[in-house]
Structure 1
Amino acid sequence: MEAVAFLCVAAAALGWGFLRVWDSWECVKSQEPAGVPGDGSRTLLVIAHPDDEAMFFAPTVLGLARLRHRLSLLCFSAGNYYNQGEIRKKELLQSCDVLGIPPSSIMIIDNRDFPDDPAVQWDAERVASALLRHIEVNSINLVVTFDAGGVSGHSNHVALYHAVRTLHSEGKLPKGCSVLTLQSVNVLRKYLSLLDLPFSLLQTPDVLFVLTSEEVARAKSIFWRIHTLPWRPPDSPAGGKERQGQLGHRECTVSEL
């Protein structure tokens, strides 16, 4: 037990030291990653449920906000799996306020076509149709969503990927509209937090966001508020440690579709 405690302390000290060094690099605050549209880009985050934006995409959103993107969000359900959809919609607005997405740029689709249920397979064509309309009406330059693994494996997350993939492969996306998908990683890497950074760097992803300490504090403030909500059962199928580990990351890897 003493050896385990020592390793934990050593890992924490190493992570803290790396954080201090990284935060001193001006490039972290000003660098524009290759493959990401520049200043003023109209970027759409596409999620399945309220809290996806905080649990999985906070590093990406904060990184894009640092690059002065004009962020908007499209959520395909109200998150009504536990009959608390109205509460969760309000919490989504609060979360987006911290992330820098204004209420006027948030759309929540709340209908029977897209129920919050991991046992229900959303119709990919309907998802794609609704998404394409939103992209065209709002002149979106960049779409950010889940990859084929859905990060947590939730079927609703995966459905969003397949819809975007269909639009991309069939050439239906407007000219100049790019797509980035959040890379799913195994459970071990989710828990490594900052220590996972070397692995991400070695994989040479299309885009890698690494947050400053101030941005990490903002992301975690959203996470802890959501993670301790009274409506979330402790045995929630998509909750618990897996989500906590994911937000513990200081870096977020997204790949070009």
Structure 2
Amino acid sequence: METIFDGMNFLFQVHARMAWLLIVSSVIVLWVASLFKIIHGSYSLPKGTFFNNLKNGGSVNKRNVLFVVAHPDDESMFFTPTINYLTLRGHNVHILCLSIGDADGKGITRKEELYQASAILKVICNVVVEAFILARYNVVPHQQVSVLDHPNLQDGFGKVWNDSILANIIEEEITRNNIDSIITFDNYGVSGHCNHRDVHYGVRKLLQASSQRKIEAWELVSTNIFRKYSGPVDIWLSSLNPMQSSHEVVHCLLNEQPRKSFLAMAQHSSQWVWFRKLFVAFSSYTYVNTLKKM
């Protein structure tokens, strides 16, 4: 009898190991297939329908697009699929970063890192950047990236940002750069960070003002934790969102140059620690963005 039980236990262990091997193999195959789709798409450069409306002459109507983010590195960690999509199609991309990310006392360094990351992402830096930064990074000053250090908009959990102050600042940036489109966080802010969420409410406050109702605004859709860390596999689920959203305008954008996400985030050297390297590798936001019209 004992021999029979030992044999059954052995068979059970063999089947369990085979099951795990099948699961791991399936995940690897799906991961590789997803990466192949992204890389193949980067060579074919599909036109896409997002911001692809044509002028009378048949050329694409170039947009002035403002990314409104909370901290230096938000643009590289979360928005690179969209930034790459827009720059590859010749749209004018601007970044408004509402703090220098000084929660750990590294604000000045993080500000410099954002300018360098912006150069990697083909977003040109702001005219107000200090001369030594321009010389160090060989950056030509332009009005493309603005980084604020407002006393009422300091980085940190528990730091509440006033939506009226945010709306006024964003409106000034819109007027100064003739912005016609905004892209920002949704009301969860990907990670749930209070500053990300406050930025969303600041943009929404702005949109409620009669003077800015013609501004087109889009929010980056937050996903659950399983999809968030599924890497390129999430492209299949994200691609279903536009089909399922019959009453909302939704676009799914693949990262046509995923390597840029790593290169841009690596410029934020003060933040480029092991767990953020893992985040960029496994985060679905490295490979795909789902945008919903606000």
Which residue does the alignment assign to 1:250?
Answer: 287
Query: Who wins on radius of gyration, i.e. which is larger?
Result: 2
Counterparts in 2 of 1:85 and 1:17: CA distance versus 1, 3 Å: closer
2:290, 2:53 → 1: CA distance? 13
Q: Which amino acid aligns with 1:169?
A: Q
Equivalent of residue 33 in structure 1, options 50, 64, 71: 50
Matching residue within 121, 127, 132 for 2:160: 121
Quote how far apart the aligned CAs of 1:67 are.
2.1
Q: 1:88 to 1:142 in 2, by over 3 A?
A: same
Deviates more, 1:34-43 or 1:161-170: 34-43
Of 100, 113, 117 in structure 1, the residue corresponding to residue 122 of structure 2 is 100
Query: Equivalents in 1 of 2:161, 2:281: separation in Å?
Result: 26
Find 2:103's aligned residue among 67, 81, 97.
81
Gaps of 5+ in 2: 1-19, 55-59, 126-141, 243-248
The answer as to whether partners of 2:230 and 2:284 remain within 8 angstroms in 1 is no
Give the Cα separation in 1 of the matches to 2:62 and 2:49.
12
> Aligned-pair distance for 1:3?
4.2
Could you tell me which residue of structure 2 aligns to residue 109 of structure 1?
148
> 1:178 is matched with which residue?
216
Is 2:38–2:254's contact at 8 Å kept on the other side of the alignment? no
Deviation at 1:244, TM superposition (A): 5.1
- Measured against aligned partners, the alpha-carbon deviations of 1:40-97 in whole angstroms (never above 9, x if no partner) come to 2111111111000101111111111122111111111011010001110110000000
Given the alignment of the two structures, is residue 221 of structure 1 paired with residue 258 of structure 2, yes or no? no
Give the distance between the partners of 1:190 and 1:100, measured in 2 at CA: 26
TM-score in terms of structure 1 length? 0.85
Aligned counterparts of 1:61 and 1:185: Cα–Cα separation in 2: 19
Instruction: Give structure 1 stretches of 5+ with no counterpart.
Output: none
TM-score, scaled relative to structure 2: 0.75
Say yes or no: does 1:194 pair with 2:194.
no
Cα distance change on mapping 1:48 and 1:130 into 2, 3 Å = same
| Number of residue pairs the alignment of both structures matches | 247
**Stretch of structure 1 that moved more, 17-26 or 109-118:** 17-26
Instruction: Write the mapping of 1:19-168 to structure 2, written as runs, cut at 5 A.
Output: 19=38, 21-23=40-42, 25-26=44-45, 28=46, 30-33=47-50, 38-103=60-125, 104=142, 105-168=144-207
Given that 1:182 and 1:253 are in contact with CA atoms closer than 8 Å, whether structure 2 keeps it comes out as yes
Q: Answer yes or no: is the 8 Å Cα contact 2:114–2:267 preserved in 1.
A: no
- The runs of at least 4 aligned residues of structure 1 exceeding 6 Å deviation read 232-235
Distance 1:166 1:25 in 2: 39
